[in-house]
Amino acid sequence: MDITVNILLTIATAATPLLIAAIGELVVERSGVLNLGVEGMMIMGAVGGFGAGYLTGSPWIGLLAAIALGAVFSLLFAVMTLSLATNQVATGLSLTLLGLGLSGMMGTSFVGQPGARLPNLDIPGLTAIPVIGRLLFGQDPIFYISIALTAAVMWFLFKTRTGLTLRSIGDSHTSAHALGIQVIRYRYLAVIFGGACAGLAGGHLSLVYTPQWVENMTAGRGWIALALVVFASWRPWRVLAGAYIFGAVWIGQLHAQAFGIPVPSQLLSSLPYLATIVVLVLISRNKRLTMMNTPASLGQPFVPDR
Amino acid sequence: MSANQDDANLLEVRGLTKTFGTLTACDHIDLNVAKGEIHALLGENGAGKSTLVKMLFGTLEPNSGEIFWNDQAVTITNPGFAKKLGIGMVFQHFSLFEALTAAENIALSLDDGSPISTIAAKARALSYSYGLPLDPQSLVGDLSVGERQRIEIIRCLLQTPQLIILDEPTSVLTPQEADKLFETLERLRSEGKSILYISHRLEEVKRICDRATVLRHGKVVGHCNPRKETAASLARMMVGNDVQAVVRAPVQGIETAQPLLEIRALSRRPATPFSIPLRNINLTVRAGEVIGIAGVAGNGQGEFFESVSGEVPQQDAASVRIRGKDAGGLSITGRRLMGAAFVPEERLGHGAAPRMKLSENLLLSRHATDGKVFVGAGGMVKSDAIYAAAQRIIKAMDVRKSALDPEAAALSGGNLQKFIVGRELDRRPSVMVVNQPTWGVDAGAAAHIRQTLIELARSGSAVLVISQDLDELFEISDAIAVMHNGELSKPLPIAEATFEKIGLLMGGAEPGHAEHALETS
């Protein structure tokens, strides 16, 4: 029983950073902006979170630093693509390259240092309940934030007027502009929100997952988050499902490798990617629904004529 | 001048000017709109009408000039401010969101923050009271163009504006839908609202407008009472000189002429959830005739053109036959080699590569058919021959341009269209298929293009013209078929065709669509 609980806990830990980064990017893409810099913003969050936690000794300050660094880094992208109308794909890619390089440079003195770890939740009486106690009341704080964030984004996008406005901008920025909606302002806020989420996801890696700094420690998770958004056809609950499927198969194949199953390890390592894509493609069979949820102006620069 | 100076002006514009680079789109425009009148803004494409109303609605900023609203000077900086003043706008290119419902679309332009369900109920009630029934829960992507315009109008009316600006509202409607719109406008006028009505259709301006302001090349060239003018005199004010009438000699014995383009049981599944399937289309175009295809935009004309031109080849090779041979499986180049020529709707990015020179664009569409002339040994391009051919076309079609061999994007819409049509005509094709031949083209150039299409047919080719402009189809066609919801009606010989009959077909009055026809008529 304990083993099962432990496995479930590790799955949640593996899925959480993917979920947070993907939910942030989902909001960005719903506004019609494609930010391929998730990996770069995430690694900046990871190095910032670790550094602040290490220097102050407080993982909570580290967490705030991770969010702030991700947001500031995304602001760079916003100024380039929204105010200067640069190509979003090229700018996003360079943001990732810049983030990877910059974080390596900033983190040279952190390599091999012991970091501060965010403590798991511990509620007397509740956490001690067998099986469900640790699952429901004994995880790291960012896990709870990720679930609350998904619910909040879902509510925001589909139940509030501001969320409707954001979706309308993603559908057609020219129509939105003609109605007098402040397209650029909404997109700035969306991009910064996405950056803060990516930073938080990076902070999870260096403050919870493996509380240390290793160069390039995001290891492609930003790209997986990006793919999740597309394969989940821009719907929050599907992003959650995708992140957890990925996490589950990831942990599963690690255990399978440890057991020494006679399957090439490369094949096992590719399983999480395959499984996630297959499942998400299957649940997005409805072409019409996918079409309705795809932001039609995604990736197009918006330049109002003046 | 028959302006009622006694009536209070709701809107007064003085010396409004807007320049884009070296182009002066609006040059010291003066305009008065009185309370409770329908005021026409007349002008050709590119005369500055849309630029002017964008400044009135706050989406463009004027370089100079003043706007007075109820005798108060105002600076309209954004559409939100225009709405607060009481200016509502129905756009020519709708500003709707396809992936959202009608109610959500309406909610987005209201700032009162009431829940969607309340807005939906209000919109439904208002739409029925004006006789423009609307289902607030329907998805805009599923609606016809006429229904989309209803959303725009209802959205505008819900803001209780004093002035409603309509930009070319009837260009996408059937004649019957247009009648319905005019009733609505007259009712609004009787309620004391003012309407600024932008159009280049003279008959409807004569019918419903009290006063007109005429623009040409960005300047006001006259004010008049359209009811006292004739269509010809209004056209002269708009264009600046008389427009040559298109001459179409009747054809004899067309039934026995050779069929050059045959479409047999052409069907196509929708490519995207919002596009139209083609359902069992049959049509024959014979040597010597011009067949017109009418229809409200978005009823499958685009899909039909793609299938006939070979941009999307068919499974069934016999569904498109050119000069008696199966062509359904061939690409656009294969069909060109059989003697067909095609002019798509979009000029820039489809009919021509915007950033390439005219001579290069000529080579792009004719490298296969004129390979011997344009391409030499070892695949080397013969620039001189291409340049000479381009100049020949430019001369034949009277293309006005600023350089010897300019980029396609540097030409005005009308001149580029003349070049694209000329490029195809220059091959003397035996089958010519044109989608929207004169969309956005000025009257003089449009008359020229129409005349050349008729002459091509009379010289023994088959010409198929898809157009939303009914006047144009009546001018050039020997028979008119109507496309509705992916189905094509039987061609009606021009002698039997009337606006009313074609209009009913455009609304869907064919067996199987009878209920819908009753609704709209």
Please list every residue in chain A whose beta carbon sits closer than 8 Å to the beta carbon of residue B102. Answer: none
Question: Min CA distance, A25 vs chain B (Å)?
Answer: 20
Ranges under pLDDT 70 in chain A = 1, 305-306
Q: What is the mean pLDDT of residues B186-213?
A: 90
Q: What is the mean pLDDT of residues B41-56?
A: 85
User: Rounded to an integer, what distance in angstroms lies between the CA atom of residue B325 and that of residue B1?
Assistant: 62
Question: Min CA distance, A104 vs chain B (Å)?
Answer: 43
**What's the confidence (pLDDT) of residue A305?**
67
Query: For residue A98, is it within any domain?
Result: yes
**What's the confidence (pLDDT) of residue B344?**
92
pLDDT tier, B348 (very low <50, low <70, confident <90, very high otherwise)? confident
Please list every residue in chain B whose beta carbon sits closer than 8 Å to the beta carbon of residue A178. Answer: 59, 79, 91, 95
Euclidean distance between the first and final Cα of chain A, in Å?
A: 66
Q: Tell me: the pLDDT tens digits for B80-134?
A: 889 889 999 888 767 889 889 999 999 988 877 788 889 999 999 988 888 778 8
| The two three-digit tokens of residue A168, written as one number | 């309308």
- Taking the CA atoms of chain A, what radius of gyration do you get in angstroms? 20
Q: What is the mean pLDDT of residues B22-30?
A: 88
Is the pLDDT at B8 greater than 90, yes or no? no
Which CA distances in Å does A129 have to A9, A13, A126, A137?
A: 15, 20, 6, 9
The model's pTM is: 0.77
Annotated domain spans of chain B: 9-239, 243-339+430-521, 348-428
Size of interface A-B (CB pairs under 8 A): 69
Of the candidates B61, B79, B98, the beta carbon closest to that of A296 is on B98
Of the candidates B82, B95, B274, the beta carbon closest to that of A175 is on B95
CATH number, domain of A128, equals: 1.10.3470
Please list every residue in chain A whose beta carbon sits closer than 8 Å to the beta carbon of residue B139. Answer: 292
Query: For residue A255, is it within any domain?
Result: yes
B178 and B22 in contact (C-beta within 8 Å)? no
**What's the confidence (pLDDT) of residue B516?**
42
Query: For residue A135, is it within any domain?
Result: yes
**What's the confidence (pLDDT) of residue B520?**
41
Q: Tell me: the pLDDT tens digits for B250-279?
A: 877 778 889 999 999 999 988 776 678 999
| The two three-digit tokens of residue A99, written as one number | 């983030």
Is the pLDDT at B519 greater than 50, yes or no? no
CB of A167 within 8 Å of a chain B CB? The answer is yes
Is the pLDDT at B518 greater than 50, yes or no? no
A178:B141 CB<8 A: no
B88 and B96 in contact (C-beta within 8 Å)? no
**What's the confidence (pLDDT) of residue B168?**
81
B100:A168 CB<8 A: yes
User: Rounded to an integer, what distance in angstroms lies between the CA atom of residue A42 and that of residue A67?
Assistant: 9
**What's the confidence (pLDDT) of residue B514?**
39
Q: How large a percentage of chain B has pLDDT more than 90?
A: 48
Select the more confidently predicted residue: B392 or B178. Answer: B392
The total of other beta-carbon atoms located within 10 Å of residue B168's CB is 18
CB of A181 within 8 Å of a chain B CB? The answer is yes
**What's the confidence (pLDDT) of residue B39?**
95
The kind and range of the H/E element at B74 are: strand B72-74
B79:A180 CB<8 A: yes
Please list every residue in chain A whose beta carbon sits closer than 8 Å to the beta carbon of residue B273. Answer: 287-288, 291-292
B100:A171 CB<8 A: yes
**What's the confidence (pLDDT) of residue B225?**
92
B83:A180 CB<8 A: yes
**What's the confidence (pLDDT) of residue A1?**
65
Q: What is the mean pLDDT of residues B303-315?
A: 93
The kind and range of the H/E element at B415 are: helix B413-425
B59:A178 CB<8 A: yes
The residue of A161, A183, A297 whose CB has the most chain B CBs within 10 angstroms, and thus the best one to mutate to test that interface, is A161
**What's the confidence (pLDDT) of residue A36?**
95
Query: For residue A299, is it within any domain?
Result: no
| The two three-digit tokens of residue B169, written as one number | 């509202």
B274:A291 CB<8 A: yes
**Residues in chain B whose beta carbon is closer than 8 A to a beta carbon of chain A?**
20, 58-61, 78-80, 82-83, 91, 94-100, 104-105, 107-109, 113, 116, 139, 141, 272-274
B273:A171 CB<8 A: no
Question: Min CA distance, A171 vs chain B (Å)?
Answer: 6
**What's the confidence (pLDDT) of residue B503?**
87
**What's the confidence (pLDDT) of residue B150?**
85
**What's the confidence (pLDDT) of residue B513?**
42
Select the more confidently predicted residue: B48 or B454. Answer: B454
- Residue A128 is given by DSSP the state T
Q: Tell me: the pLDDT tens digits for B464-484?
A: 999 988 889 999 999 999 999
- Looking at the 3D structure of chain A, how many domains does it have? 1
Pairing between β-strand B492-493 and β-strand B479-484 as defined by DSSP bridges: antiparallel
Is the pLDDT at B4 greater than 70, yes or no? no
pLDDT tier, B1 (very low <50, low <70, confident <90, very high otherwise)? very low
Query: For residue A38, is it within any domain?
Result: yes
**Intrachain domains B9-239 and B243-339+430-521 with the same fold:** yes
Question: Hey, what CATH class is B9-239 in?
Answer: alpha beta
Please list every residue in chain B whose beta carbon sits closer than 8 Å to the beta carbon of residue A171. Answer: 97-100
Q: Tell me: the pLDDT tens digits for B410-453?
A: 887 778 899 999 999 999 999 999 999 987 777 778 888 999 99
Q: What angle do CA A56, A53, A136 make, to 5 degrees?
A: 130
CB of A288 within 8 Å of a chain B CB? The answer is yes
Per the structure, the complete domain to which residue A163 belongs is given by: 2-293
**What's the confidence (pLDDT) of residue B87?**
93
Nearest-Cα residue of chain A relative to residue B107: A161
Of the candidates B20, B60, B99, the beta carbon closest to that of A292 is on B99
| The two three-digit tokens of residue A228, written as one number | 């999740």
**What's the confidence (pLDDT) of residue B273?**
67
Of the candidates A164, A172, A179, the beta carbon closest to that of B79 is on A179
Please list every residue in chain A whose beta carbon sits closer than 8 Å to the beta carbon of residue B61. Answer: 306
Supply the DSSP string of A188-234, one letter for each residue: HHHHHHHHHHHHHHHHHIIIIIS-S--TTTTTTHHHHHHHHHHHTTT
Query: For residue A184, is it within any domain?
Result: yes
Query: For residue A300, is it within any domain?
Result: no
CB of A293 within 8 Å of a chain B CB? The answer is yes
Select the more confidently predicted residue: A292 or B205. Answer: B205
Please list every residue in chain B whose beta carbon sits closer than 8 Å to the beta carbon of residue A167. Answer: 97, 99-100
The total of other beta-carbon atoms located within 10 Å of residue A274's CB is 11
Query: Which of B108, B140, B109, B107 is closest to B121 using CA atoms?
Result: B107
**Architecture of the CATH domain B243-339+430-521:** 3-Layer(aba) Sandwich (3.40)
Please list every residue in chain B whose beta carbon sits closer than 8 Å to the beta carbon of residue A294. Answer: 99
B98:A288 CB<8 A: no
Q: What is the mean pLDDT of residues B182-190?
A: 91
Q: What is the mean pLDDT of residues B178-197?
A: 91
**What's the confidence (pLDDT) of residue A306?**
62
Q: How large a percentage of chain B has pLDDT more than 70?
A: 95
